[in-house]
Amino acid sequence: MKTVLINRHRLGWTAGAQGSYLPVAASDRVLLTRTFAGGLDGWTAEAFPDVTVCDMRSSSRVEAAADWLISSRGAGRLVAIHEKDMLLAAALRERFRLPGLTVDETMPFRDKLLMKQLLVAAGYESVPGFRSLTSATRVAELPWAGPTVVKSRWGLGASDVRIVHDDAELWSAVTDLRLDLGDLEVEEFVPGRMVHCDSIIQNGQVTFSSVGEYLQAPGRFRDESHQGSVLVTEGPLAAIVQTHNETVLSALGARDGVSHVEFFVADDGTPTFCEAAIRPGGGGIDELVRRQYGINLIETAVQLQMGHPVTLPDPITPDPGVHGIIGVFQNVTDRDLQPALEAVLPGLVAYRRYELAGAARHATDYGHTILLRGENRADFDSQLKTALAVLNQARGVSDQ
C-alpha cells in the first residue's frame, strides 16, 4: 500500500534505519521531508525511491505537496508524527477518505483551550484555572492569585509561553508572541516539578506507559544551559501519574496512538494537568523508554498510524537501573564534550553532538545529548551533577 510519510525530524528518528519502521515495501514509501536539521540524514534511493523535499516553514506548501503526493500516488495511508503536522494529516485523511485519526479526534490534543474544557466537562478536577484571552482580559480580575501564564493554544516545546504578573506584562507578552488574541489563552501558574507520561493506546486502552521527570521546567529554556529528563522508577509517583494519565486520555477520546501528557507535581505528590499530545515525546524520551523497557515509541507510533496492531513484550522486563538524558542547548558550547564525560562518568551510555546554529528556539533544541544510566535515582543524580560540572568547565563558568 502506498504510504505518504511527512517528516520534520531527523529521517532515521521518524522512519528508522532505511525506513524500517514503515511496514511496507520501499517501493510503496512516499517521503515528504525537509533538508534542515537532518531531514535527509541517511537517505538512500533504495529505502526511499520516491522523495519530495519541501520548505516546511510554510504550512500551505506542506499541505499542497502532501495533497499532490496522496492523489498522484494513489496513497492509502498517511503518517505524520510531528506536532505541527498532526491536524494537517487528520484533515488530509478526511479529504482523501484515508483511515486514521480524524480532525475531531486530533483537535483535543492540539487546542490547549479545548483540551482543558473537555477535561473539566468530564469531571476531571486537576486542571489549573484557565480562560481564553480577549481584549477585555485584566490580570487582576482573573479568578486565581499569583502569576499568570500566557500561551499559544497551538504551540509546542514551550516556545510560545510567557509568565506575567500584571496587565503591562500581559500585553507585552501578547506583542512578543505575535499571535492573534483568538490563538492565545491564559492559565493559572502552577508551581512544582514537571513530569511527563508517555503511553501507547490501542482501541482506547492504555497498554503501556512510562513516567519521567524533567530536569528543569521546559519554559526556562531561554535562560538555562540544558534541559532533559529522567525516568521515574522508584516510589509512588509513577503510579499516581499513570492513573491521572489514563483519566486524561479517556476524557480526550484517545483511540490509537502514542501520547505525551505533561503534569505539574506539587510537593505533596499531587499532579495538576499541563497539556497533552497524541504523538511521541521529543528530547530523547523515546530513547530512554527503549533502553529502560525495550519498547520503541517512535516505531509504535508509525505502525499504529499504519493500522498495524502492536504486540508488546510479555512480560515487559525493565532495566533495574535508571535512565536519563541531558540535552545541552545548541548555543551553549561548540566543544566536543565526549572525552571529558567518558573520563568521569561510569554510567555514560551515549553522547551525541549535532551541528545546529543559533539560539535555542524551543525546549528540545539540543546541540548535545548525554544519555546516562544510574544504578538508582541517587546514582543518576550524582552523575548528573558531575556531567553538569563538565559542561560548566567547557563553558568557562563556575559550578552552580
What DSSP string runs through 84-126?
A: GGHHHHHHHHHHHT-SS--HHHHGGGT-HHHHHHHHHHTT---
Question: How many CA atoms, within 13 angstroms, populate the side-chain half-sphere of residue 77?
Answer: 20
Helix or strand run (H / E) with residue 51: strand 50-53
Q: What is the pLDDT of residue 357?
A: 64
Q: Which residues contact 145 (CB under 8 A, 6 or more apart)?
A: none
- Return the axis-axis angle of helices 237-252 and 112-121, rounded to nearest 10°: 100
Three-class SS of residue 267? coil
Q: Is 5 exposed, middle or buried (0-12, 13-18, 19+ CB in 10 A)?
A: buried
**Is residue 330 within 8 Å of residue 367, measured between CB atoms?**
yes
AA identity, residue 385: K
Q: What is the pLDDT of residue 158?
A: 75
Q: What is the pLDDT of residue 356?
A: 66
Q: What is the pLDDT of residue 270?
A: 95
Other Cβ atoms less than 10 A from the Cβ of 111: the count is 17
**Is residue 372 within 8 Å of residue 324, measured between CB atoms?**
yes
Closest CA to 298 of 262, 326, 258, 261: 258
Would you write out the chain's pLDDT as a tens digit for each of its 400 residues? Answer: 999 999 999 999 999 999 999 999 999 999 999 998 889 999 999 999 999 999 999 999 999 999 999 999 999 999 999 999 999 999 999 999 999 999 999 999 999 999 999 999 999 999 999 999 999 999 999 999 999 999 999 988 778 999 999 999 999 999 999 999 999 999 999 999 999 999 999 999 999 999 999 998 887 777 788 999 999 998 999 999 999 999 999 999 999 999 999 999 999 999 999 999 999 999 999 999 999 999 999 999 999 999 998 999 999 999 999 999 999 988 788 899 999 999 999 999 999 998 766 676 777 888 899 999 999 999 999 999 999 999 999 988 865 5
AA identity, residue 125: E
Q: What is the pLDDT of residue 355?
A: 75
CB neighbour burial string for 162-190, b if at least 16 within 10 angstroms, e if fewer: bebeeeebbeebbeebebeeebbbbbbbb
Cα(137)–Cα(181) distance, rounded to whole angstroms?
A: 10
Cα(50)–Cα(2) distance, rounded to whole angstroms?
A: 11
- Residue 95 in grid coordinates: 479529504
Q: What is the pLDDT of residue 364?
A: 81
Q: What is the pLDDT of residue 396?
A: 83
Q: Which residues contact 129 (CB under 8 A, 6 or more apart)?
A: 142, 143, 144, 187, 188
Q: Sign of the C-alpha dihedral, residues 247, 253, 257, 263? A: negative
